């Protein structure tokens, strides 16, 4: 008898727990996620090459003033992470990107020199991989 009561209580408990529904982002949220993944066109301000280590340090900012908030947000949330740089010609490269705290809206890219070399005023697009 006790076994049947326990079974009924367990069945009732199981039926009262709501089943998880698949997560569907509202259209506005989906559009905002898609916009965040759009590349940001950047411009090289300064570049420094360290031949012994085989790396280049590139200080950059957004090319278009309107992209400033997006770049700032991307750098703040993902500093120290690997991102994708697309140089002229459409080739894509990986680089580690940092937020430069002392210069508002500036980023620092560390790039292996055997893959890509960027000079002052060169343009590239930046995005998460």
* CATH code of residue 91: 2.40.30.10
The answer to whether position 83 is within a domain reads yes
Whether the Cβ atoms of residue 87 and residue 115 lie closer than 8 Å to each other:
no
10-39 confidence digits (pLDDT tens): 544 444 445 554 555 556 555 555 555 789
Q: What percent of the chain has pLDDT over 90?
A: 60
59-69 confidence digits (pLDDT tens): 999 999 999 99
Q: Which domain holds residue 48?
A: 39-129
Question: pTM for the complete prediction?
Answer: 0.71
Domains held by the chain: number: 1
Q: Is the dihedral of CA 98, 101, 49, 90 positive or negative?
A: positive
Separation of alpha carbons 76 and 28, rounded Å:
23
The answer to whether position 76 is within a domain reads yes
Would you call 7 helix, strand, or coil by DSSP? helix
């Amino acid at each position: 008898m006790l076994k049947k009561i326990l079974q009924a209580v367990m069945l009732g408990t199981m039926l009262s727990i709501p089943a998880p529904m698949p997560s569907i982002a509202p259209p506005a949220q989906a559009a905002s996620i898609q916009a965040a993944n759009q590349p940001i066109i950047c411009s090289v301000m300064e570049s420094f090459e360290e031949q012994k280590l085989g790396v280049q340090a590139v200080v950059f900012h957004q090319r278009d003033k309107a992209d400033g908030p997006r770049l700032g947000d991307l750098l703040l949330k993902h500093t120290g992470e690997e991102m994708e740089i697309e140089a002229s010609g459409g080739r894509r490269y990986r680089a580690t990107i940092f937020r430069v705290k002392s210069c508002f809206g500036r980023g620092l890219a560390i790039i292996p020199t055997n893959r890509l070399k960027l000079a002052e005023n060169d343009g590239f697009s930046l995005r998460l991989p």
